[in-house]
Structures are given as structure tokens and as C-alpha cells.
Amino acid sequence: MADVFISYARVDKARVAPLVAAIEAQGWSVWWDPEIAAGQLFDDQIESELAKARCVLVVWTPTSVASRWVRGEAREAADRGILVPVRFDDARLPMDVRALHTTDLDNWHNDAASSAFQEVLRAVRAMLARSGASVAGRAGPGAGPAVASPAESSRVSICVLPFSNMSGDAEQEYFSDGITEDIITDLSKVSSLAVVSRNTAFSFKGRNVDIAQVGRQLKVAYVLEGSVRKAATRVRISAQLIQVSNDNHVWAERYDRDLNDIFALQDEISQAIVKALKLKLLPEEKKAIEQRGTNNLEAYNLFLMARQFSVTGNYGNVRRCEAIIRLCRSATEIDPNYATAWALMAVAQAALKFYFNGPGDGGLAAAERALALDDNLAEAHAAKARVLTSEGRYDEAMIEIEAALRLDPESFEVNAAAARLYFMLSRYADAIRFNEKAAALMETDFSSVSVLMTCYKALGDVNRTREAARRTLVRAEKITIQEPDNGLALGYVVMSLCMLGQPERAKDLAKRAMLLEPDNLTMRYNFACGFAALGEFDAALGLLGPVFERDAAETVNWAKVDPDLDALRELPPFKAMMAKADARLAEAQQAAS
């Protein structure tokens, strides 16, 4: 018995497949007719699965609207009150279901972070909750989202829109964004509130939005919006809480304070919202909100700058990692007990070590320092897990990942670290689940969707491999437009093109990139993966030579389990290169010890 039954027209299979994958990545079981085994009676099994389904998602297209089977399944689901309809190509809906709210997915672009898809998830989750479904019992850390309990469903829903930067200085954007993120974090600590995630809320940044429309789209009862003006030693924050159903202003306030009062001001805003909604703030929740990590304004300001690089950047930019590390190091020099700054520094150091063979211990000392100060920092556990994973200490890494997932299952860093560990363990289904979650949490993240290509390919799922390649291409190309020298993004563009059967375009781009940056080892590695997929083994081996001669143990260990290189493993030149790399690294380790 599946959680979600998908009703669609067979000719739309390629369009529906990524939708199925994205829903399954949330932890729900899905039934659609490719599940029918050869020789089974189609009608009988479809009827059986439809009768057992707790939620029916109907995919309306101009083709499916004309299908009597799809229309019949939709009518039955509507009669049972379990229908969630979506639409492509502005399909004209059957008359008997036009009254139901239907989500348009033309612009979701197979991106689980898109607001349209998030709307679908909320509808499915609500439907499963009403029908008594439960996916909470599945084993393993980070299992799919549990259906809301009665207590959870009674929580007040709210979205905090990005506060506008009114400082007249675009460089101050990090400050207004930081204030917004802190308010989201604070309100998320209140058990009686259901707060829309940061990534979803920030999808509205810079747009003129209609509050009622936002409320309908996100299915929230309240929306908080505001502005921040920072000038010299003063800060002015205006905020208003709006009830979506009637557009009433439940609460509004303007604060004009000394900048040094910013911490108390954030506490005051969060508590005022709780009071305006007539909710009870538990003592432990009040204490959690008031824990800022630092009381030093200068250290906090540096951390906000570093965090802005983190949430808007990507792992393919070495300067981004170095900037985060410098800013966090400065913050911790001012306040050595600033645990969140230590944790963010550890995450950046881990990325720098893995992608660019950076110096040092890959963030281990910074993560352990953060954990010594505050053992409840999920990102610190995740950073430590990344280091342990790179060193092949998988059992220890799993302990850290499980702790991180308990503390914050919605953290991008936590899901990315979990995905990396499961990939190294060749547990591809788990790696897919966490990579999908990471990609949904960070819209600039192209690395997670690129690894999905490899995972689906390893599982023999051709359709989803190609779909992951298309998603990777979209995200990575956006980065290369902004940063033409981003070698990691270029590598994934070439790899995607190879997976999508566009070898000439892939070769041309790789040739030009190699002329510009022949020593970018990460780029060479990903080019090699793409050429191996094309069967061009000599080109792949030529690209890998310098990688195995010079790159760090993290890359060599990754190569040992990477399915993208399986076609090369039995070739004598590949075996020789790998043996030399192992000998080089063993000698270096012995010298260091």
C-alpha cells in the first residue's frame, strides 16, 4: 500500500518521472503504473492500488484531460476527499474538478525547492495527515517526513518574508537578510508555530508580492514582513504581522534603537509576535530564543557577512570558502566562545579541503571547538562527520550524522554531509534521499543534484539519471554565467552534457576550459567522469593522471567508490595510477606522523 497514487497519461511519463522522484525523496512511498509487473492484469492492480491509496495526485495535461482513465481516477479520488491535482501546459480541467485548487507546475523546472512544488508537498502532507497515513516508522536517520500529529496540525502557520534593506547601500543586504534569518530561527523554536523554511521564504526576495497570494500559495495563516535600515550606530526595524484570511494587521511596530541593542531587539520582536498570536511561550523556548551565541556586535556582524556568503554561494568557488573562513576567524578572535562562528568556519574548511585540497585538517579542530562550546550545533556535528567521512572513519561519521539529524533535519549542511557519507558507503537510495533534500534546501546548490546523476546511474534508472543531468545542467550553467572561472560548475556542466547525449558540446566546452585552467584538479576529475560515460577511456585517463598524482586523499578515496569510474577500473593504466596514488599518500602520511 503506497502513500501516494499518481494518476497520469502514459505519454507524459518522462514529465511525471521527476515529480515521482521528488516526492519519493521526501520519504513517502509512491505507486504509479510503471510499478506493474509484466503479465499482471493492469485494470485489476490499478483498481486495487487506487482503492488503498491515501492520497491521489493527478497530473493534468492536455493529453491526460482527454483520458477517461485519468478522469475516472480523479473523480474517485475527489469523491473520497484525497485528490491533489497539478497541471502542466495550462490544461483545461474537467468540469467536475474545476472547483478544486490546482497547482501549476510549468515553472517548477524539476526543482524540489521551487515554491510550486513546495505547495504540492504541503497539500500531500495535509492529505496524508487527514487520512491517517504514517511514514514516521521507517528506519534510519533522516527518514521521510512524518505526517503531522494532532498537536502538530494545530500549530499556527507563519511565513517570514525577507525584510527589505532600506539602508540605501546594497552592501548592507547581508544585515537585513541576517535579521530575517534570525527571526525565522527564533520563531522555529516555538513549538506552537509552524514556520516556513528559510529557502522557501527567500524565494520571494526582491519581488512585489500580494500577501493573500503568498498565504494561499504557502497555505499559511499569517505573514510577517518588514524592513531594516542600518546607518552608523543606529538601526531601525519596521515589522507587521498580517492575517492572510482577512488582510488584517494583527500587530505592527517600528523600533529605532542603538545598534548595540540589536540582540535584545530581535528577542523583543519574536516575543511580540508570539504574544500577538495569543500563544504560550514555554520557559525553555524563551531561553532558546535569547541564546544568540555572542553578545559582541562586531563579532555578530562578521558572522552575518560570512553566513551571507554561505547561503548565497556555492562550493565551486574557492574564494567564497576562504572569505567565510577569514570572516569567521575574525569573529572568533573577537569572541572565542562564539560557537556558531566556529561551526560555520568548520563547514567552509571541510569544503575547501575536499574540493580544492585546502590546507589544514579540513575543519576538524573548528568543529570540535564548536561542539565543546555547544554540543547542540547540528552544523558542527555535520562538519566533523564530513572530515571523518573523508578519512574513511565511517562508523564515527555515522554517529555524528545521527546526532546532527536529530538536532536539525532541515539543515542544508546536515543533509549534504549525510548524503556524502551514504554515497561513500554505496547506499545509493539513502544518498538520493539526502541529496534531494539538500538540493531543495539550497537553490544555488548544484553539487547535490550532480551526485544524483551518479546515484541513479548506479541503480540503473536511466530516466532519472537523465532528469538529474538536466537539473544539474540548469543549476550549474547559472553559476558559470555568474562565475565563468568556476571549475566545479564547469565540470558538472560537461558531465551533464555527456549524460544527456551531447558529446560534441561537452568536448568543446571541456577543451576551452582546459586551455584556461589546466591545473584545476576538481574540474579535470568531473570531465573524466563525463568522458568515461561516453566510452572515451583514453581521454578520461589522460584527465585523471594529474589528479591522482597531486590531489588529496579525499579525492582518491572518492574515486575508489565512484560508480562514474567503474568503466575504467579494470584498465591497467587506471590500476597503475590508483596504486601510485595510494603509495604517494601512504608515504605522505608516514612522513607526517
- Higher confidence at residue 337 or residue 96? 337
DSSP annotation string for 76-111:
HHHHHT-EEEEESTT----GGGTTS--EE-TT-TT-
> Domains of the chain: which residue ranges?
4-131, 155-292, 296-445, 448-593
Packing angle, helices 521-534 and 447-458, rounded to 10: 30
**pLDDT of res. 131:** 62
Digit-coded pLDDT (tens) for 244-283: 888 888 999 999 999 888 888 888 898 899 999 888 878 8
Quick one: CATH architecture of 296-445? Answer: Alpha Horseshoe (1.25)
Is the pLDDT reported for residue 118 higher than 70? yes
CA nearest to 360, candidates 398, 310, 321, 308? 321
Q: Does domain 4-131 have CATH number 3.40.50.10140?
A: yes
Side-chain half-sphere CA neighbours of 245 within 13 A: 3
Euclidean distance between CA atoms 314 and 321, whole angstroms = 9
CATH superfamily of 155-292: ABC-type transport auxiliary lipoprotein component (3.40.50.10610)
In order of 110, 182, 255, 345, 468, the CA distances from 301 in angstroms are 36, 13, 19, 15, 38
Q: Could you report how far apart the first and last alpha carbons of the chain are, in Å? A: 56
Under 8 Å CB-to-CB from 113, ≥6 apart: which residues? 199, 200, 203, 439, 440, 441, 442, 443
**Which residue's entry shows cell 511580540?**
272
Whole-angstrom Cα distance, residue 265 to residue 253? 12
**Residue 440 in contact with residue 471, Cβ under 8 Å?**
no
Q: What is the pLDDT of residue 212?
A: 84
Whether 195 shows a pLDDT value over 50: the answer reads yes
Q: What distance lies between CA 470 and its chain's CA centroid?
A: 17
Judge whether residue 94 has pLDDT over 80. Answer: yes
Q: Report the SS3 class of residue 149.
A: coil
Distance CA 14, CA 466 (A): 10
- Entry field: residues in the chain: 593
Give the per-residue pLDDT at 254.
92
- How far apart CA 199 and CA 16 sit, in angstroms, is 24
pLDDT tens digits along 280-330: 878 888 887 877 789 899 999 999 999 888 876 556 678 888 999 999 999
Any idea what the Cα angle at residue 227 is, between residues 221 and 231, rounded to 5°? 160
Same fold, 4-131 and 296-445: no
Residue 358, pLDDT above cutoff 90: no
CA dist list (Å): 349 to 179, 343, 344: 25, 10, 9
What residues contact residue 314 under an 8 Å CB cut-off, 6+ apart? Answer: 320, 444, 445, 446, 447, 479, 486, 488, 489
Listed residue (411, 424, 399, 416) closest to 188, CA to CA = 411
Q: Is 515 exposed, middle or buried (0-12, 13-18, 19+ CB in 10 A)?
A: exposed
**Where would I find the H helices in 132-261?**
150-153, 173-188, 198-201, 211-218
Assigned CATH class of 448-593: mainly alpha
The rounded distance, in Å, linking the Cα atoms of 255 and 235 is: 8
- Reduced to 3 states (helix: H, G, I; strand: E, B; else coil), residue 418 is helix
Task: Give the whole-number percent of the chain exceeding pLDDT 90.
Answer: 40
